[in-house]
A and B are shown apart, each in its own frame.
Chain A
Amino acid sequence: MKPILEVNKICMDFGGLRALDQLDLEVKSGEIVALIGPNGAGKTTFFNCVTGIYAPTSGNIFLHDMKGKSSSLNGLKPNKITEKGLARTFQNIRLFSEMTVLENVMVGCHCRSTASILGALFRNKKTVQEEEEIVRKSYGILQKVGISEYVNEMAKNLPYGAQRRLEIARALATEPLLLLLDEPAAGMNPQETKELDELIVRLRDNEGLSILLIEHDMKLVMSLSDRIFVMDYGRKIAQGTPAEVRENPVVIKAYLGDDS
């Protein structure tokens, strides 16, 4: 079976700087894959290439859905890539702070709706039904990630852990096949991290999502991931199961330096 995300030899140059160098990566359906590496290794750049914020200098990115349909993501705009089934969250929280929690999730539903400006003005039956459906769906997602108690709060007033969950909820609203999480546990306490771990596993088991995450919390990475890719200086330096990666001398060197 084909992997859900297939990245072939992508390179990303910023002027003379090569931020990504011949990077290969794949995520199989239903897998939780972690991308780790020291700061500045190019992990977020990689996410930005895959989600269409940057156009890679060379290389190919494919998304293969369950029905066997493949689409190239090269040169597509971020909104088109999201329509194909990719969603992401950011390292720093980027909620729509002036909107309510429910509205934030509803914005995520927009790309799957057929809303038109005329429909919104004349409020025909189809539009009304669709909007009711969006509210139901959004509320369901909030329950799923466990923050439905905040439904009508302004996003900016939520506690930190709940804001992180809301980011995931909003990404889920776009109905992704593959979810990219950029340091989802950043700034969380051990209890919140544990709950996040359970949430991610639940999303994979119950929703059939595939997940690719960048994370620095090694305890979380080791317990969560099926496979790990290790990057340094824009290159892939190792890959394998958590046990293999932990023992790999190249990885240890990248993290601790030459003398170890």
Chain B
Amino acid sequence: MEYFLELFFSGLTRGSIYALIALGYTMVYGIIGLINFAHGEIYMIGAFTALIVASVLTVLGFNQLAILLCAGFAAVVYSSAYGYTVEKIAYKPLRNAPRLSPLISAIGMSIFLQNYVLLAQTSDFMPFPALIPEFEFMEPYAHIVGSSELVIFLVTTLVMVLLTLLIKFSSIGKAMRATAQDKKMAMLLGIDVNKIISITFVIGSALAAIGGLLIASHIGQINFYIGFIAGIKAFTAAVLGGIGSIPGAVLGSFILGWTESFATGYISSDYEDVFAFSILVLILIFKPAGLLGRDKTKKV
């Protein structure tokens, strides 16, 4: 039973991180119909920014909580700036191009950012300090669920609630939904569609940066390649849940997290990815639009 719980919480942690990244994929897809393959790299850049800021502040002798907050803030701002810029450089000029062009551009951007970080840093894994504090009250349960796992889950939940409220109730959120449904009409109602698209990229990037910081602190090492793997997994989760749907992305992420965790724990860690992608294949065969995705049947 304890082993089961341990795997359950480990799956929950993985799922939370996938969800933070998958939200960026699904929001961007929802609004401009593009799979932003460079999104995983934004997450990786968030982790590296956090590492740099944390290293500097550690040398300067700040306390752990201050380092966590500063590193988090810096990661969010820096990643958002990258997300914003990537959209302006690689996608905006291709807004009216055939759908394949921005997709290729996204893959190019992804490779570029990976190699840019590879050159600026190194290809080796770099140790990442444990920024998330260990809580004393968690000690009796430490063999089942760690403090950082708890924090990751809570932060993710908080962020998702905020995002949902923002999209459902705020004026900007309504403008985002309107833009997703009919860009031309939104424009005719005075909505600055380019600004709304930029905001979407900024929000998605900020979420990915939070994910990058949290998981790096949890695992304890990063390199330039982490964004690719995490990006592919989060993308899988988004497709699993129904790309374009926000609750779908979250659901898909947790399903994927648990699948990987239980497959690793009960069968073999060698088959982790096999199980993750088998689920994807099954969903695509039996429910092509994803679990919560809308089927594309148009009324005539």
Chain A interface residues toward B at CB < 8 A: 51, 53, 77-79, 82-83, 87-88, 90, 94, 96-99, 103, 106-113, 115-117, 120-121, 127, 130-131, 134, 170-171, 173-174
Chain A residues near B203 (CB-CB < 8 A): 117
For B171, B177, B181, B203, the residue with the greatest tally of chain A CB atoms inside 10 Å of its CB is: B171
B124 within 8 A of A: no
What are 9 inter-chain pairs, A to B, with CB distance below 8 A?
Answer: A79-B187, A99-B174, A107-B175, A110-B172, A115-B172, A116-B172, A130-B171, A131-B169, A174-B189
Could you say which of B127-135, B146-154, B191-199 contacts chain A? B191-199
Chain A residues near B170 (CB-CB < 8 A): 115, 120, 127, 131
CA distance in complex: A103, B175 (Å): 10
CB of B126 to closest CB in A, whole Å: 32
Asked if residues B193 and A79 are in contact (CB atoms below 8 Å), the reply is yes
CA distance in complex: A173, B186 (Å): 13
Asked if residues B166 and A121 are in contact (CB atoms below 8 Å), the reply is yes
Out of B169, B172, B182, B192, which one reaches A79, CB within 8 Å?
B192
Provided the pairs A110-B171, A117-B199 are in contact, do residues A98 and B189 lie with their beta carbons within 8 angstroms?
A: no
| A107-B178, A110-B171, A120-B170 known, 13 other contacts, Cβ within 8 Å | A79-B187, A79-B193, A83-B190, A96-B177, A96-B185, A98-B181, A99-B177, A112-B190, A115-B171, A116-B172, A121-B166, A127-B170, A174-B189
B97 within 8 A of A: no
Asked if residues A107 and B186 are in contact (CB atoms below 8 Å), the reply is yes
Chain A residues near B192 (CB-CB < 8 A): 79
CA distance in complex: A17, B189 (Å): 29
CA distance in complex: A78, B169 (Å): 25
> Which residue of A has the minimal Cβ distance to B171?
A115
> Which residue of A has the minimal Cβ distance to B182?
A94
Chain B residues near A115 (CB-CB < 8 A): 170-172, 175
CB of B291 to closest CB in A, whole Å: 18
B162 within 8 A of A: yes
Asked if residues A174 and B190 are in contact (CB atoms below 8 Å), the reply is yes
CB of A39 to closest CB in B, whole Å: 22
Asked if residues B172 and A120 are in contact (CB atoms below 8 Å), the reply is yes
Chain A residues near B185 (CB-CB < 8 A): 90, 94, 96
* Chain B interface, >50% SS class: helix
CB of A188 to closest CB in B, whole Å: 20
CA distance in complex: A108, B186 (Å): 8
Out of A88, A106, A130, A173, which one reaches B188, CB within 8 Å?
A88
Out of B171, B177, B187, which one reaches A120, CB within 8 Å?
B171
Provided the pairs A117-B199, A131-B171 are in contact, do residues A96 and B178 lie with their beta carbons within 8 angstroms?
A: yes
CB of A87 to closest CB in B, whole Å: 8
CA distance in complex: A131, B165 (Å): 14
CB of B248 to closest CB in A, whole Å: 14
Provided the pairs A121-B166, A174-B189 are in contact, do residues A113 and B171 lie with their beta carbons within 8 angstroms?
A: yes
CA distance in complex: A127, B177 (Å): 19
Asked if residues B190 and A111 are in contact (CB atoms below 8 Å), the reply is yes
B184 within 8 A of A: yes
CA distance in complex: A109, B174 (Å): 10
Chain B residues near A108 (CB-CB < 8 A): 189-190
CB of B275 to closest CB in A, whole Å: 34
CA distance in complex: A51, B185 (Å): 11
CB of A17 to closest CB in B, whole Å: 21
CA distance in complex: A142, B127 (Å): 59
Asked if residues A99 and B178 are in contact (CB atoms below 8 Å), the reply is yes
Asked if residues A111 and B191 are in contact (CB atoms below 8 Å), the reply is yes
Chain A residues near B184 (CB-CB < 8 A): 53, 78
Asked if residues A110 and B189 are in contact (CB atoms below 8 Å), the reply is yes
